Structure 1
Amino acid sequence: MEYSSDTRRRATPPTAHLRVFEPLRAFSDEDQLLIGGQKDVSREQLEGAEAYESLARLTRTLSDPFPHSTHESFRVLHYPRADGLTTAYYCPSQLSTRSVLAAEQLDGSMRRQVLDLLLPEAAREANAARVDSSRFAEDVAHLHTRGATWGIPFGWFVLLHEEDHRELVEDDSDLLGVRISAPLGQALDRARYAAATLAIHAPQMDLLDELTALCEWLGLFSEDSIIELDYGRIAPLVWPDDSPHDLRMGLESLADSDMLGAAAAYRRLASRWLRVRQLARAS
């Protein structure tokens, strides 16, 4: 079945993702076989299928948002090389593991009565029985994807520059999404420099803690991996987006003790995302 239409994705909240794509050799023999078996499935088909299945889970007669299939799927990123060719990198969806982690986050953020309506005890128990405990532990220790709904954490913009490789996802004249990618080693260097700058000039900023956590996470992967910021359906709300540039200018101003310049860069950044936050509240 083809899932090329964006209709189903439009029915879900705008979500951005930060993903790590690794070279094929980084995966187990079992996963490499799965990747080989999915070589004819395009990224558009994969993401359309995920959107379809997400809506199907949310609209089940009995409340049960957990995925029932444990079959792993992989996104592929063809990253350009200096010689003009591309190299394939892969990112596992890890949907089952991410669903469990999301449920745990909800468990600590809402009242029990509401949680039981969204995630009935029977559904949680059934999902726990389906989860492969060894695979779950491995995925948690090596989680390839982070998500954010109705916004993008500012720390993610530190990892990327406006001249990095980008891909616009379009349908006729409509912008459906934007993906920006860069070598992980380069992104990690940017994050470490930004964290050091903040530690010296603005240690009270929450961004420092965010960057510290990002550095720890990225350090789990080999530096020959690729990091990708996927705006998803947030892209039409903000693109063209100068957030990476504004954040970098703010950090450079801090390093030069130019507090006026840093404040101006932050105002540009914050005002750009204010509209998105207002839309989130309106929804």
Structure 2
Amino acid sequence: MQSVAAALTMVRDDAFFLKAWLRHYGETLGRENCYIVNHGRGEEVAQLAEGCNLIGIPGDPHPNFDMKRWRMLNNFVQGLRCYYDHVIVGDVDELVVVDPSDGRSLLEWLRTARRKRVVTPLGLEVIHRIDLEREAITDRIIGPRRHVRLAPHYSKPCIISHGVKIARGGHYTQYDKLHAPDELYLLHLKFCDFTNYVEVMNARNAVTESTGATVQEASIGRHWFAEARGEDRAVFDGFAELEMEDGFDLGWVRKRMHRSWGSRGDTGFWQFARPDYAQQYLLPERFVGVV
């Protein structure tokens, strides 16, 4: 039994993403080192997560859902650090991967990683090019889906081996150094499949509606609200308009992250600039099957 790394997430009925999360972290870290907060004590979540550490909590809707969630995850992370060298924490649709050209699994990478740090993988959003990618996802996601867009908002400080506070949403920590290794990526899967996107957004809109709060009143991401959702097919059609870049050298993005690194006002948190990039890349074939 390894004590190098644990993975932690919170989920409510997102079976599609949970299956990918379980396959990814369960295979490399071992299910006994996967910790899942089961929001609402969903039966399907419990069945899928057999062999993991399941923490059931009430599922009552609350306008400060995200604030409460990250307060709890912060405390869980620090508790798990008492027993693991590193803790990977994030949403169920976010997966940390090592570039296959590195030759190491995620666990092997973490085994040699320095402790007392916060590590920030480069964020890439897996997008479903519905004009090109007709194959349904039945098992692995990368293969049927190969296109990604730059997603600075998802370059999250999510590998924790230091006693730091994590901001709501997991986007910032109170750690004043930026460690963004060239071989680490965080794949955000929200837009990886059009059909699943529609189903997930319908469910999330229903959750926020049940709180009775407005976008301005709630501590929940705007994308959970129906009025901020937009037209689904138009969102996916828009991916074809992103400029296609040659190759897969993203060193320039990490350099910009380092150049813009600084304190986030007087909050105690640290950040880098998060511009919107209108670019997309085709993942090299070596990534096929990585998630």
Question: Looking at CA atoms only, which structure, 1 or 2, has the larger radius of gyration?
Answer: 1
Band the TM-score falls in, shorter-chain normalisation: under 0.3
Q: TM-score, normalised by structure 2?
A: 0.24
Which structure's residues are more often helix, by fraction? 1
Q: TM-score, normalised by structure 1?
A: 0.24
